[in-house]
A and B are shown apart, each in its own frame.
Chain A
């Protein structure tokens, strides 16, 4: 795949998320699609007629895109890398965002698992700086634990320097 985002001489991050991330995002997309369909159904009750039909079509189209296309694109775009002195993240479909967080600035790091993630055997690594939190979502549980420990370790050594 062609490198996304503006050209930099910083090496691109290479690690991907767990393949099951797509399943997770599909289920989440399905959730919002169902909400959209319910909204359209509600509108049909109010308006009725051909306009509502167009509404159904639009909702179905958006739902299909959210369930089928977006998770795939998102997964293909997501890259991350934990280096000795920094965490490098690249993600986004319509807008590609590349973020570098210096290890020295990482205050603490933890993993979280929602219900869906538990079911799929996934976990999210969240690392906090004074400016806020960043995350690497949907890694396998084993890998997430490993990444969390490694970031914690590197952040500590960075502080001692």
Chain B
């Protein structure tokens, strides 16, 4: 094929390519790969190893448990190192004949073959280990890929990364965009923003159950062997109500700290840049990640105003990307923290394809307010009543839970809204956070209306849209006729027939009178 490739385009000081015609000759990973792979093996071994260690230390038996634990740990490390070395020696990768090849495997050999034309992006990871050795981890992202990239190279020289990128560029696939793309727009997360973003990350709810297990676990562990420590521990178990509340608060603060630290690690140095047809995201403190998102694969934007952020008018912007839904939430973050007013200009600069106003939505009618308020209020009232029965003496107070229930319902009503304009859909709803979904109507996966028997009598109905695996949105209790009109407006016939989608949408939906 392209025999006229300049052999030296990998940059100055590079050794000439071993086979200039085909790209990169079969080669091993950088030796640092041994360490990275060993660490990976150690992680896989962590659970059985941990069990063995725990059994040794707490399982009683004769001899010195600590010594045996150290021996086990050493054996584990040695096995992991050996596994890393073997995996390194049996891994070869190459670029040639228009494809990237990866051959791995000790007993059963596995060969992965990705045509360069299908490569969407070459993403990189610099973990602490990789940085120590001055190498990079590479993930080859392909179209239609599942939750993980098909080819992962844990450690290769930066020069090889450039060669790989050059090969993809030459091939002219979707990943070929702009040889040395000049960023059209760039945004960076400053230190203060990072701090605020981390403090308000509010993954507290996720971490709490995890932390609640910790005291139980430690009780299990220390209750057995270290009798005195166990008794100390028992003294720490709260006895009265104020102590329980204090313990709960302490747990909350701890969860909050963990969540904050996690966010700092994930989002430090967050930078997003837009070039012609892709977004490049760099982030991470310990492991620095570089990811690329082809704009054509972005299905929707989610503006999330979390519980802790909403009072300060702050929001996070997420993207729904086809094929990325299973990845960590951090990987779907377009920007960790923006003021509400900044969201619009931010999108206009970086993702004008999906940019839209996030305010001025058509709300749910006033008469549906009680339908929003009643269910959560009733649920919390029932829970409160249960608490009254379960804890004697607490009598009327738990019933007050009805108030936050009602408040939550009312705020859900206030959040609900929709708009269809120029073929762009905006839908807002509240779970715990207030979420605004912006999506081109043409990229919906499905949409529908739903009406219960009770809603039928009141002439109300829900509108539901699904944008991707990660984004389903529903606006509940709209006027039934409005819901029906939204349903019609989102039909795609006009789009499929190639008519401009703006006119019919504008007529049918925007002018919907409010009852």
Contact = CB atoms under 8 A, between A and B. Distances in A.
Interface of A: 4-10, 85-86, 92, 94-105, 129-132, 134, 158, 161
Given A130-B322, A131-B469, A99 B484 contact: no
B2 interface: no
Interface in B478-508: 480-481, 483-485, 487-488, 490-493, 496
Given A95-B451, A99-B446, 19 more contacts: A6-B481, A7-B484, A8-B449, A8-B485, A9-B488, A86-B491, A92-B450, A95-B450, A96-B451, A97-B448, A97-B449, A100-B448, A102-B492, A102-B496, A103-B496, A105-B446, A130-B299, A130-B445, A131-B446
A8 B446 contact: no
A100 B493 contact: no
A106 to B, nearest CB: 9
Chain A contact residues: over half helix, strand or loop, or mixed? mixed
A6 B469 contact: no
A92 B450 CA distance: 9
A6 B481 CA distance: 6
A54 B445 CA distance: 47
Interface residues of B, number: 33
Interface string B291-312: 0000000010000000000000
B488 A85 contact: no
Chain B contact residues: over half helix, strand or loop, or mixed? mixed
A94 B487 CA distance: 20
22 contacts: A5-B449, A5-B451, A6-B449, A6-B461, A6-B483, A6-B484, A7-B481, A8-B449, A10-B491, A86-B492, A96-B451, A97-B448, A98-B450, A100-B448, A104-B492, A105-B445, A130-B445, A131-B469, A131-B472, A132-B445, A134-B446, A161-B496
Contacts of B496: 85, 102-104, 158, 161
B461 A129 contact: no
Nearest to B467: A131
A102 B452 CA distance: 24
B468 interface: yes
A99 B480 contact: no
B453 A98 contact: no
Contact of A132 (B323, B449, B466, B484): B466
A49 B488 CA distance: 57
A153 B490 CA distance: 23
Nearest to B447: A100
